[in-house]
Structure 1
Amino acid sequence: MTRLDGGCVVVTGGASGIGEATVRAVVAAGGSAVIADLQDDRGRALASELGAAAVFHHTDVTREEDIAGAVDCAGETFGPLTGMVNNAGVVGAIGSIMETSAEAFDHTMSILSRAVFLGTKHAARAMKLQKRGAIVSLASTAGVMGGLGPHVYTMAKHGVIGLTKSAACELSRLGIRVNAVAPGGTVTPMTSALGDNNPETTADFIAAGSPLGFACMPEDIANGILYLLSDDARYVTGHTLVIDAGETTGAEPPPFFSQEADILLHAGQRGLDE
């Protein structure tokens, strides 16, 4: 079992979805977590449930001071920062590129791109003091190929993968590893909100398009993140771990894959992960 004994991890967007699953995985593996999120009630409830191993820090990832504050909170509460998970996300601007406003573009990029840059920046500043640490950012299958998400979302997630490679080049000499995880469609509140807000319906829809024939759950992504945070991945940096049941390899879906699901998926409803 992957262990994080003594590890201290900040998870942005840690109050729900993949972020919540990651916080739970970190604590279960023996680490401590800072839940950095805007959702005060959910974040505080999760921290209360997990006890002394977790703390909530109100964080708006569009504000640099909030991200820096979450990193500072980790050091002050649990000791040296060993892990940073840049997870917070939104679907953001949707629609034709010809109709997308600059304001919608800027807002989407501030959460999906700029916040990852800031999280990496401030985590690296803290980690360089002990010459050890792991940064994991949430990309998406929409960052691996086109047509799996809205335009701005796709652009931002490609940028996450680019920054992962670039930052890994600089920070490896400091003992800091930088990797990304690229989920395919995953059953989270964000993806459910694209439909009828029913997790069971979302799971059925995602399972219909999965080459493995079942839906990806937040815990499946959290397990990949936990691996990259741990010493099990001590020689892995600059890598993007794609977790998508082989979808981006061109694998064929199961026989029950419906024409209706095919139409919806190719309309850009896949690749929405956090």
Structure 2
Amino acid sequence: MTRFDNQTVLVTGGAGGQGSSHVRAFHAEGANVVIGGLDAARGAALADELGTRARSIHLDVRDEGSWSAAVHATESTFGGLDVLVNNAGVQNPPALIEDTDQATWSRILDVNVTGTFLGIKAATPALRRAAGGAVVNIASTMALGGTAHYAPYVASKWAVRGLTRTAALELGRDGIRVNTIHPGVIATPFIHEPAAGATTAIADFYSPAPFAIPRLGEPTDVTSLLLFLASSEASFVTGSEYVVDGGLLLGPALQAEAA
């Protein structure tokens, strides 16, 4: 018996660096997994790799109709929806606020905030039909402070915090828990490759040497916490925020010189 037997999990951005880690782990724990995203080839390849209990679907998180179709397909294929993981996200090319165009601002918020909002909206009736469940929103440590040159992304992740807390209040009496994870610098293409329109990757701005745990995070570091929050083990946890950053936000872990 594993934690997610007879449950169905929908992960947005499910074929990406963190998303594919989440999908594989849920599947290994017995869940039916639905891989939502725009990259049909990568999603299909992951579904084929997993075999039974896995399906890839087209999902543009910015579009309400796409969300409705995705939830309908999930219920039609597996009989219900128990967990939604709002993992899809995009990063802006680094720029000062005065040099950031409105189109970039709108694109980042459309995916990161509107996408999460529409996901909760579309999934709620299905989660109620399943007699409750869990929503986990993947935010960022950038939602816990300011970061120069990343105003759209920072603003979007701060907004996800407020949305999570509001949804937790609205849905708790329906047995639906809503929580947020704030990853730090995780070793995926998202931080190792420049965002669209950029020449510099996020990882170029960070060295893990000063972290309390002096390494970059791995997708599995986030996945392990996600599995807990989505499971019945966290049945009394909602509206909460969990940081996975190796101590990045604590400040530098300075080492005294040996005497």
Instruction: Give the TM-score normalised by structure 2.
Output: 0.90
1:254/1:13 CA distance change after superposition, 3 Å: farther
Alignment correspondent of 1:104: 104
1:183/1:54 CA distance change after superposition, 3 Å: same
Q: Which stretch shows the higher mean deviation, 23-32 or 124-133?
A: 124-133
How far off its partner does 1:130 sit?
3.0
Q: Which stretch shows the higher mean deviation, 60-69 or 40-49?
A: 60-69
Gaps of at least 5 residues in structure 1 are 256-274
Alignment correspondent of 1:153: 153
User: Could you tell me how far apart the structure 2 residues matched to 1:121 and 1:115 are?
Assistant: 10
1:168/1:95 CA distance change after superposition, 3 Å: same
Alignment correspondent of 1:237: 238
User: Could you tell me how far apart the structure 2 residues matched to 1:175 and 1:44 are?
Assistant: 32
User: Could you tell me how far apart the structure 2 residues matched to 1:93 and 1:27 are?
Assistant: 34
1:54/1:209 CA distance change after superposition, 3 Å: farther
How far off its partner does 1:225 sit?
1.1
Amino acid at match of 2:24: R
How far off its partner does 1:148 sit?
7.1
1:101/1:40 CA distance change after superposition, 3 Å: same
1:218/1:11 CA distance change after superposition, 3 Å: same
How far off its partner does 1:2 sit?
6.9
1:210/1:68 CA distance change after superposition, 3 Å: farther
1:57/1:251 CA distance change after superposition, 3 Å: same
1:55/1:151 CA distance change after superposition, 3 Å: same
SS of 1:128's equivalent in the other structure is helix
Gaps of at least 5 residues in structure 2 are none
Note the alpha carbon deviations across 1:115-135, whole angstroms, 9 max, x for none. 000011111121112331100
Alignment correspondent of 1:249: 250
Alignment correspondent of 1:83: 83
1:139/1:30 CA distance change after superposition, 3 Å: same
- Bigger relative contact order, structure 1 or 2, given CA contacts below 8 A and separation 6+? 1
1:194/1:53 CA distance change after superposition, 3 Å: same
User: Could you tell me how far apart the structure 1 residues matched to 2:124 and 2:141 are?
Assistant: 26
Amino acid at match of 2:213: L
Instruction: Give the TM-score normalised by structure 1.
Output: 0.86
- CA-based RMSD of the aligned residues comes to 2.5
How far off its partner does 1:37 sit?
0.8
How far off its partner does 1:193 sit?
0.6
Alignment correspondent of 1:144: 144
SS of 1:207's equivalent in the other structure is coil
Note the alpha carbon deviations across 1:73-93, whole angstroms, 9 max, x for none. 211111210000001111125
Amino acid at match of 2:161: I
SS of 1:57's equivalent in the other structure is strand
User: Could you tell me how far apart the structure 2 residues matched to 1:53 and 1:189 are?
Assistant: 27
Note the alpha carbon deviations across 1:24-67, whole angstroms, 9 max, x for none. 01001111111001111110000000011110001111111112
SS of 1:208's equivalent in the other structure is coil
Amino acid at match of 1:247: L
How far off its partner does 1:207 sit?
3.4
How far off its partner does 1:194 sit?
2.8
Amino acid at match of 2:74: A
How far off its partner does 1:254 sit?
6.6
Alignment correspondent of 1:74: 74
Count of residue correspondences: 253
Note the alpha carbon deviations across 1:166-219, whole angstroms, 9 max, x for none. 110010010000001000010111111139x9x9xx69x653353201220111
1:227/1:145 CA distance change after superposition, 3 Å: same
User: Could you tell me how far apart the structure 1 residues matched to 2:24 and 2:47 are?
Assistant: 10
Alignment correspondent of 1:222: 223
1:26/1:41 CA distance change after superposition, 3 Å: same
1:99/1:35 CA distance change after superposition, 3 Å: same
1:96/1:64 CA distance change after superposition, 3 Å: same
SS of 2:243's equivalent in the other structure is strand
Give yes or no for contact 1:15–1:42 (8 Å, CA) kept in 2: yes
User: Could you tell me how far apart the structure 2 residues matched to 1:247 and 1:210 are?
Assistant: 5
Give yes or no for contact 2:8–2:81 (8 Å, CA) kept in 1: yes
1:6/1:132 CA distance change after superposition, 3 Å: same
1:183/1:191 CA distance change after superposition, 3 Å: same
Alignment correspondent of 1:171: 171
How far off its partner does 1:4 sit?
1.1
Give yes or no for contact 2:97–2:149 (8 Å, CA) kept in 1: no
